[in-house]
Structure 1
């Protein structure tokens, strides 16, 4: 059987979180860099499909290919380590500290950002023919996305910030579900199927993913979007990072840890008995 029971993959989640805390700086940065770059390529791919076909659902259906590739190659996204690493701290694994957890998060953020920025520059060159022409239709679309998801939130004030935060929470609820779903199977097709479904949901519903946005918004600025780096960080990236942390840790990591890794004893458990007659006599008492 390729399916792994929840109690087993919950233990794998804690083990994975522990391993990431002790990973070397070089390996953490390289894996995060590649994860950010691949996810950025997948975002460019999905937007290109949406623009060329006029069908957002088709773009969302195909976006998870990037997530599956980076996961199967063992690369790390900030959204994933937000969910997994704290579990090793909760479990009091030897040597796992708050400082070690924050170190991992900081390194993965930097690696993801560098990878996404690399692809942002490359795609901006492609969309403008080496910055010699105005952005093509896909480049224009990316610029509009950046404006609507920074200045659009800012125009709504507190309500916009709340909406942004909730979209970020919902995003990593789905994305981290994909990370965990990959642990439910030992086969590559099983892992891909498990990852594909929640990633499709997050992308089609337009939730806010901190690493995807590391590509979209710098790209938008380079491609002529009428918003600033300050708009991007204040009205998207920083609240999105916080929301992603809350969503992944609360609704995925914390819930699975509480009910499958630290399951409570069953209520009214049937006692160890010889036969049903003995059980009936005990129940009568």
Structure 2
């Protein structure tokens, strides 16, 4: 009996695409990485803003059925991740899974990972603050007392909790973020990609997990309307534990186990229904020695940039 065709790639094949994405990210110029990261912070904050507008605007439902209110509002949040993925922007939390996966394979260097993490994090932050200040607060999107009051409440709920709680909420969040990225690479059409992104991101928001970049929108917007904590407490009680938790979640719950399962051997004999001719089956693996980025090797140049950007980044999108 013939195996039915599958409209997607196997986990082993997705692992190869993940490696190619990491290599492509390591070849981005400083300017490209900065602009992509700013737009990534902007996009994710747009999703957080829509979520906030909806849940803050239904105080009656929040009081009578908070779970339903959370589920409805959380459904809008993944729009930011969809925009990031389909336009091929940079998001630090996704990179906390992608880059360590390729480092474990020795396909990129620790410097590549460090550069990517720092630039994407800092400019994700800038994009989120831009959205909070210009497109939410100054544009008066939250134009009722109920909405501004809830903006303060949700910010305090993210900060006025135990340090360890925010750490673990960050761990849980980035497991789902990594799954959204990994599953989206396995889809071969945009509708499927959107579905693969939407479900995990919707789940982490409903669960109440914490996303370090989204918090740079959600907490400052509450501070603009008058929270009872200052910037110092925001940094210590939210930024530090949630960021550490995101790193731990991306590495320990995604990059490490996926590397153990799919990143150490060929394992390309899984039928998926995707057309693979004999030449394709026998071509060198994407992480073979001729495509490994060695320490000290130039990470840019006309030939390498064309090769990795065109192929690797297209696969990411």
Same structural fold, with TM-score higher than 0.5 when normalized by the shorter chain: yes
Partner of 2:154: 145
The Cα of 1:232 is off from its aligned counterpart by: 0.7
Does the 8 Å contact 1:42/1:66 carry over to 2?
yes
- Equivalent positions of 1:7-156 (< 5 A) are 7-53=12-58, 54=61, 55-93=69-107, 96-122=108-134, 123-127=136-140, 136-150=145-159, 152-153=160-161
Structure 2 SS opposite 1:116: helix
Structure 2 SS opposite 1:30: helix
Q: Which has the larger radius of gyration?
A: 1
The Cα of 1:262 is off from its aligned counterpart by: 2.0
Partner of 2:182: 180
Partner of 2:303: none
Structure 1 SS opposite 2:245: helix
Does the 8 Å contact 2:19/2:98 carry over to 1?
yes
Structure 1 SS opposite 2:75: helix
Structure 1 128/102 Cα, relative in aligned 2: closer, same or farther at 3 Å? same
* Residues in 2 aligned to 1:263 and 1:88: alpha-carbon distance in whole angstroms: 13
Does the 8 Å contact 1:77/1:108 carry over to 2?
yes
Structure 2 SS opposite 1:149: helix
Structure 2 SS opposite 1:126: coil
The Cα of 1:128 is off from its aligned counterpart by: 7.7
* Residues in 2 aligned to 1:223 and 1:73: alpha-carbon distance in whole angstroms: 32
The Cα of 1:52 is off from its aligned counterpart by: 2.3
Bigger relative contact order (CA 8 A; separation at least 6): 2
Structure 1 143/258 Cα, relative in aligned 2: closer, same or farther at 3 Å? same
The Cα of 1:263 is off from its aligned counterpart by: 5.2
Structure 1 56/62 Cα, relative in aligned 2: closer, same or farther at 3 Å? same
Q: Which shifted more, 3-12 or 61-70?
A: 61-70
Report Cα offsets for 1:14-69 as digits up to 9, x if no partner: 11112212211111111111111111111110111112243221011121122111
* Residues in 2 aligned to 1:136 and 1:183: alpha-carbon distance in whole angstroms: 42
* Residues in 1 aligned to 2:257 and 2:230: alpha-carbon distance in whole angstroms: 38
Does the 8 Å contact 1:32/1:77 carry over to 2?
yes
- Equivalent positions of 1:119-268 (< 5 A) are 119-122=131-134, 123-127=136-140, 136-150=145-159, 152-153=160-161, 160-262=162-264
Report Cα offsets for 1:252-275 as digits up to 9, x if no partner: 12211210222599xxxxxxxxxx
Size of the alignment, in residue pairs?
252
Structure 2 SS opposite 1:112: helix
Does the 8 Å contact 1:146/1:217 carry over to 2?
yes
Does the 8 Å contact 1:124/1:139 carry over to 2?
no
State the superposition RMSD in angstroms: 1.8
Unaligned runs of 5+ in 2: 1-5, 62-68, 268-317
Unaligned runs of 5+ in 1: 154-159, 266-285
